[in-house]
Structure 1
Amino acid sequence: MTRSQLQEDMHFRILRLLQENPEMSQRDLAKSVGVSVGRMNYVLGALVDKGLVKLGNFTAAKDKRRYAYVLTPKGIARKAALTRAFLIRKMEEYEALKEEIDNLISELGEKTPSA
Structure 2
Amino acid sequence: MNQQEDIRFRLLRMLQENPNLSQRDLAEALGVSLGKANYCLQSLLEKGLIKIQNFKSSKRKLAYAYLLTPAGLAEKTSLAARFLSRKMDEYERLKAEIESLQNEIQETARSKSNLPENL
Q: Which of 11, 14, 18 is the aligned partner of 1:17?
A: 14
Normalised by the length of structure 1, the TM-score is 0.87
Tell me the equivalent position of 1:69.
66
Instruction: Spell out structure 1 runs of 4+ moving beyond 2 A.
Output: 58-65
Normalised by the length of structure 2, the TM-score is 0.84
Aligned residues: 107
More displaced stretch, 20-29 vs 64-73 = 64-73
- Compare the two structures and name the one with the higher strand fraction: 1
Distance 1:13 1:6 in 2: 10
Tell me the equivalent position of 2:99.
102
What's the Cα RMSD here?
A: 1.6
Percent identity at matched positions?
Answer: 55
Unaligned runs of 5+ in 1: 111-115
Distance 1:39 1:98 in 2: 33
Unaligned runs of 5+ in 2: 108-119
Q: Which of 25, 28, 32 is the aligned partner of 2:25?
A: 28
